[in-house]
Amino acid sequence: MLLVCTSFIYSAVVNHEVRQIYHIYDENKELIDSAPIAPRKEAWLGTDKLGYDMLSKVLIGAKFTILGALTIAFLRMMVSVPLGLVLGTYFPKGQKYLTSLVDVFHFVPLSVVALYLLQPFLFLKAGQEPVYSLTERIAIEIVVLTILTVPVLSVLIGNETRELFKEEYVSSAKTLGGSKLHIIKKHIFPALRERFFILFGQQFVQTLIVMAHLGLFFLYFGGTIFPSEGGDPPKSVTNEWSGLIGGSKIFLQWAPWIPLTPIVCFAVTILAVMLMVEGFSRVTSGRPVYFKRKNTQTLSAEKKRLRKKENSFDFLDKSM
């Protein structure tokens, strides 16, 4: 949230204009460096080949990237949680057939499907009036990336709901006359509430990864501007991070700091969310999600068993 707030404040101060440093001169007015400039005190994260400061770019694009991923993850949960609870509660027998049908989506790359669906809405040509406004393009991408994962997420929640209905305390509630809606409110939802937070964090991370994949195909969040002529790569309308990666990947060998800046921002954001999910899970349930530790008690017991086995070894021939 600190990064998002910084992005809003910085964008308001510079009026969404990226700082441009094309030449750097020394005290004697002699040229010492020109774009693309490697990271140095005048440009902490360096500049691209046109002299645009990479720090300014990632700060301006941070709010689009993070808030876009948060919105998509939130909408996925808002749609999938009620559907999953209904599936697991009212249609437990038919859910196995639905699970077999939805399993197909596990083998179809989400990025490829999104690429075909979003390409007509997000690709723009330089100098031409866009058909859709920026708000419309962002809304379309959010809706498409939300809908694509709803079937899989709903079935997952439905399976966990169905398993909870086999618990003894739920069976007792049913025996005492509790309706299915009452059981959902009083038993199922409270039992899955912590799980929902973990799923939300996982959906946020998955959304960032899909956005990064789409960026490699020049499909940027908010729209992609293709130059009318010349060999320049497509540009992102919003300077969001996946667009910075896709547009700068050609500089990976001779100016690596250009694509490395948004890649590091992506990695740090994903790591921060994973740590939040891990900490929440360990505090609430005591179980790790990403960073699983070895069971020291089990290892100690195994060592004792092996040591005891070694001590019990004896030669059959006592003369040896």
CA distance 68 to 222: 10
pLDDT along the chain (320 residues), means of 10: 86 87 83 84 85 89 91 94 90 76 75 86 77 88 91 89 87 85 88 89 91 87 78 80 84 86 90 89 79 60 61 56
Please indicate, yes or no, whether the overall pTM of this predicted structure exceeds 0.95.
Answer: no
Distances (CA, A) of 77 to 10, 117, 154, 227, 228: 31, 22, 9, 38, 40
How far is the C-alpha of 281 from the C-alpha of 271, rounded, in Å? Answer: 15
**64 with 133: CB under 8 angstroms?**
no
> What is residue 130's predicted lDDT score, i.e. its pLDDT?
77
Please list the residues that pair with 24 across neighbouring strands: 33
DSSP assignments along 197-238, one per residue: HHHHHHHHHHHHHHHHHHHHTT--TT-EEEPSSSSPPPEESS
Q: Name which of 156, 146, 175 is nearest 87 in CA terms.
A: 156
Q: Is 40 helix (H, G, I), strand (E, B) or coil?
A: strand
How far, in Å, CA of 216 to CA of 196, rounded? 30
Write down the pLDDT at residue 15: 85
Dist. CA 178–CA 238, nearest whole Å:
52
Distance, CA of 268 to CA of 276 (rounded, Å): 12
Q: Is 18 left (phi over 0), alpha (psi -120 to 50) or beta?
A: beta
**Residue-level length of the chain:** 320
Residue 295's pLDDT is 58
Q: For residues 72 and 69, give the distance between their C-alpha atoms in angstroms, rounded to a whole number.
A: 5
Q: Which residue has the tokens 């404040």?
A: 9
pLDDT score, position 315:
55
Residue 316, Cβ density class (10 Å: 0-12 exposed, 13-18 middle, ≥19 buried): exposed
Q: Using alpha carbons, select from 185, 161, 183 the residue that is nearest to residue 172.
A: 183
Give the Cα separation of 144 and 127 in Å (integer).
Answer: 27
**Residue the block writes with tokens 């809304």:** 139
Strands 235-236 and 123-125: unpaired
CA trace torsion 288, 293, 296, 297 (10° rounding): 30
